[in-house]
Amino acid sequence: MSERKQFFPRLAVEAGGNRWDWLLLPMVLALLVLLAYGGQQMARPYQLGETLPLSLDPTNLPYYLLRTTLRMFLALGASTLFSCVFAVMATKYRAAEKVLVPMLDILQSIPILGFLSITVTAFIALFPGNLLGVEFAAIFAIFTSQAWNMAFSAYQGFRTVPAELKEAASVFRLSAWQRFWRLELPFAMPGLLWNMMMSMSGGWFFVVASEAISVSNQNIKLPGIGSYIALAIEQRDLVAIGWAIGAMLIGVLLYDQLFFRPLLAWADKFRFEESGSETAQNSWLLNWLRQTDRMQGTVLAFVKLLERSFGVFRLRHDGTSIRARPRLHSSTPERIWDAIVAAVVFYAMWTLIHFIHTEVGWGEVGRVFVLGLYTMFRVIVLIFLAAVIWIPVGVWIGLNPRLAERAQATIQFLAAFPANLMFPVAVVVLVRFDLNPDIWLSPLMILGTQWYLLFNVIAGASTVPTELRYAAQNLGLKGLLKWRRYLLPAIFPSFVTGAITASGGSWNASIVAEYVTWGNTTLKAHGIGSYIAEMTAVGDFPRIALGIGVMCVFVMGFNHFVWRRLYRMAEDRLHF
């Protein structure tokens, strides 16, 4: 008892924390207040048909920014959780892997916007009389634009845990729970984090579409940057668009500095390569946090809690126990499972064929395929053009280390910038000069995704071994020969990586880029993207489904027959 008595006064004296704590306190409090306020606004009562107040007054923008960012972070949280669950299921259970991985492959190539119209009704029904339903629909739409690449990256990470570390975990008898926190998640962390950043950037692109929802002839505009932009487009207000761009830039800057930088700097310890070649990330906020006393204490308390859970979820028997005796292996359940999966697939195919036959007709399918070919042609040409422009630039930047460091931050920023904000400008120009939308709308598709190409080329060029550079100089390689024999092969693998992302993004972007509205002017290019967008506007579900399905086939075909082969070739032959 006496010990307790001594303990309390000491706690009271030290409760103040150090000066770093005090400096950080206003920030933390402000954050908490904002979160609470945003959360409260999200859950307020709402009846379908009610119009939510929305104005183009720029003073409302901070509030809209808060709401939008909150949605994006909720979606990011959900995506992270989903990725972990997915990775665990797919790596632990072969039966799950057989279904989950192909499913994700398909989901990944389904255009995100397609989800929205299908799911929003269900979400609204889930929370009658409350705005939460619509909010969840919007969050779900953002989630679908973020989750797949994160899940794949986590799965990849979980699967490639080095064999020796796995053996060490077994020898020291880590339970599945301990293994997840101590081995698998840390190992997958760098890739997961990188994909989180990419997802966050990608999410902005679809904010407009996910916040301004049309369902059963109702136009719901949730307060947020996306709706603000949608309203500005309706009212042809270029100045408001400018304000929105500004607000977004500030938003991107804020969460970059306050969230991703500290996280990246902290996650530096999870890098598996033992060499310290890559320059470590630095974050002022993390440095600050590390100097605080109470704040850090709070975080450490959570870590302690987690570590205590290791004691609870531990292996309670070892290899000599009767419980460790292996069960007789039987392949019957596996067979049954395979049969079920096969049956479901066949049923789905039959339904699909039946659906096409009765609802849309085979002629329509053919027409959509032709439209898909148009879009594919655009994607190929655009990737080619982007390569022609960005490879020389990227190589030039990459070979200058000082330039590369600064350029990378800028380009990450550019990648986060939603290109669809530029669309109104494009419409104005196209209409003014009476240009052919079939040609001139196309560049919009790659506006947002070209940065991945540049980013990867820079990364590739900056990892060219110095010795190789000297050798090329020494041999006097010049002009075409220099590009053919030295530079292009050297950056090829990273180029392919960038091009895969860029082309995937372009397919997705075609839905918004081939069908652009500005007030009551609508410009339309022939392609599968505009087909889906048009059908969504009309609300023709069978045709939306058909468009999505066909695009899915195109994207997967493209991935399998072009990108994966190039990727494998790059992996086999062109690396250092």
Could you list the residues that contact other proteins (CB under 8 A)? 162, 164-165, 167-168, 170-175, 178, 182-183, 186, 269-272, 274, 276, 307, 310-312, 314-315, 318-321, 324-326, 573
DSSP letter, residue 123: H
Return d(Cα 134, Cα 215) in angstroms, integer: 10
| Contact call for residues 70 and 225 (beta carbons, < 8 A) | no
Least separation in angstroms between residue 174's CB and other proteins is: 5
Least separation in angstroms between residue 167's CB and other proteins is: 6
According to DSSP, the β-strands at 218-221 and 515-518 are unpaired
Least separation in angstroms between residue 343's CB and other proteins is: 27
φ and ψ of 523, to 5 deg: -105, 140
DSSP letter, residue 327: P
Least separation in angstroms between residue 275's CB and other proteins is: 8
Nearer to other proteins, 307 or 334 (CB): 307
Which residue has tokens 């929802």?
213
Return d(Cα 219, Cα 230) in angstroms, integer: 11
Nearer to other proteins, 74 or 183 (CB): 183
Nearer to other proteins, 302 or 433 (CB): 302
CA 501 to chain centre: 11
Query: Using CA of residue 559, residue 563, residue 568, residue 571, what is the dihedral sign?
Result: negative
| Contact call for residues 200 and 213 (beta carbons, < 8 A) | no
Residue 404: both structure tokens together? 């590369």
How many residues can be counted in the chain?
576
| Whole-number Cα distances in Å, 464 to 79, 278, 371, 412, 488 | 35, 13, 41, 21, 11
Which residue has tokens 């293994």?
179
Nearest CA among 455, 435, 539 for reference residue 216: 539
Least separation in angstroms between residue 312's CB and other proteins is: 8
Strand (E) or helix (H) holding 455: helix 450-462
Nearer to other proteins, 467 or 572 (CB): 572
Return d(Cα 497, Cα 462) in angstroms, integer: 15
Least separation in angstroms between residue 351's CB and other proteins is: 36
Least separation in angstroms between residue 307's CB and other proteins is: 7
Nearer to other proteins, 318 or 434 (CB): 318
Nearer to other proteins, 4 or 329 (CB): 329
Least separation in angstroms between residue 173's CB and other proteins is: 5
Nearer to other proteins, 188 or 447 (CB): 188
Nearer to other proteins, 121 or 170 (CB): 170
Least separation in angstroms between residue 12's CB and other proteins is: 25
Return d(Cα 412, Cα 390) in angstroms, integer: 15
Name, in order, each residue with C-beta under 8 angstroms of 414's C-beta and a sequence gap of 6 or more.
451
| Contact call for residues 83 and 151 (beta carbons, < 8 A) | yes
Nearer to other proteins, 315 or 404 (CB): 315
Least separation in angstroms between residue 519's CB and other proteins is: 54
Least separation in angstroms between residue 267's CB and other proteins is: 9
Residue 1: both structure tokens together? 């008892």
DSSP letter, residue 206: T
Nearer to other proteins, 82 or 310 (CB): 310
Nearer to other proteins, 13 or 312 (CB): 312
Please give the single-letter amino acid code of residue 226. G
| Contact call for residues 153 and 194 (beta carbons, < 8 A) | yes
For 157-194, the DSSP string reads HHHT--HHHHHHHHHTT--HHHHIIIIIHHHHHHHHHH
